[in-house]
Structure 1
């Protein structure tokens, strides 16, 4: 399988399309070129703060027009994962207000942390207000038998100027350590998000490229479901532990390679 055979693209967001409040170089141009050539594409995000609607608005604001249907977020999949395993339940939502609202809209019943004993599940997303009280309530609930879900296990997510914020995984690890229970993980590298992206694109897995900057989530997960994997590696740091099908330094380089490999007459347009 080569880049020339790819018929649909799934792009990670944090660290691939954007970093903090800015698009990465070449992102808008590559997306626009793929759309002009009628290649289906979707943005496949491990986001645990915001769902697809908010992410689509942010893409549009930054210069890549997008609708909710163009984005698949782990944030949006966690409610279904809980429902598939437990039905509609009382739970603790350790995350943003948007996470609690999404779970409630799906039929679950978020509880205040002082009612942790009643929780049948604990869902951990990225939580800017995470503190000792939330950690105590979540870990006690899980240790008492509540089923533990994490939107993702990303330790960090990139923000502007090469900095990072602690990710959902950092908070989930704190709960897991205190409760001595490992979570059920919804996002990458687990298959649910990749399978949703493939279905949305309407291509077979081997004709779909997963483009991302995170070897452990984007590349490992994409390979596990048979996707063509493209690793965005701005600063090479030795031999990767997982081999992508293609490594590029930037989206500008990926754009150039895609144009060079196309068999269509307008390949240089």
Structure 2
């Protein structure tokens, strides 16, 4: 709780932390609202590879957590810029949603369809609900022929309300195996996401907290970035592979601990 008193900004993962599928998780809206009332900075740091910050912000708002696009840091948005910074504006084969192609085109890249894979100078893999053998063949052949290989993230699973769907990482591994090449990864736990989140929060990394349910991405990456890490672990029987600074069983518990840190006398309440 002493450490919580020093935190001036909070970065929340989305999938599995703020929401699961189409529903907010318990305590999410209340905690975010309380932090904002206290004048603390809040951003949402998502490994999303289907949609960018504008779509995610609208979904947060619809579910009861008002948010603007500038408050969302999405690996989806950072990927097009990463390709641009490394190799310039190029023809890109995008394995993902139509939104991914639009994001790439917005910064100057030229999306090419799978049947024209020989023209691609880069391959970008996101979460693609239409992924099939033809797309796998086109992407892996392009990479094997020398196209730069980028992955939005390496998350093997995508949390949904009734369990999980295969994530971006599952598709990336298929391409990587066939192409015999490893990708440049943009999303968590790699540094670019955390650097962007801390910059949006406007405080030093040591005064910023990363809150998430994934040890491999949220906690590992947050610790490497020098942030205070809070692991949301609703299942007590799941061991901590990497030691977070704080582990809670859900956002309501984090809310209670934050209130205690802010008001050691205990006069504050969750409904304050």
d(CA) in 2 for partners of 1:11, 1:90? 34
* Structure 1 equivalent of residue 149 of structure 2: 148
Distance in 2 separating the partners of 1:157 and 1:118: 31
- The aligned residue for residue 59 of structure 1 is 60
Q: Report the equivalent of 2:23.
A: 22
Alignment of 1:37-52 (within 5 A): 37-52=38-53
> What SS class does the counterpart of residue 81 from structure 2 fall into?
helix
Shift of the 267–6 alpha-carbon distance from structure 1 to 2, 3 Å rule, reads farther
Query: How far does residue 238 in structure 1 lie from its aligned partner after superposition?
Result: 4.6
Q: How does 1:87-106 map to 2 (within 5 A)?
A: 87-106=88-107
1:189 maps to 189
Matched, 1:248 2:252: no
If the length of structure 2 is used for normalisation, what is the TM-score?
Answer: 0.96
1:84-233 pair list within 5 angstroms: 84-161=85-162, 163-233=163-233
Equivalent position of 1:3 in the other structure? 4
- Aligned residue for 1:182, secondary structure, equals coil
Residues 219-266 of structure 1 deviation map (CA, whole Å, 9 limit, x = unaligned): 000000100000000002353110000000000000000000015998
Q: Which runs of 5+ in 2 are unaligned?
A: none
Q: Aligned with 2:100: secondary structure?
A: helix
Q: How many residues align?
A: 268
Structure 1 alignment gaps of length 5 or more? none
Once residues 6 and 268 of structure 2 are traced to their aligned partners in structure 1, the CA distance between those partners, rounded to angstroms, is: 14
Of 200-209 and 257-266, more deviation after overlay is shown by 257-266
The Cα RMSD (Å) is: 1.2
- Structure 1 SS opposite 2:173: helix
3-state SS, counterpart of residue 137 of structure 2: helix
Cα offset, 1:57, TM superposition: 0.3
Structure 1 length as normaliser, TM-score? 0.97
Equivalent residue of 2:43, what SS? strand
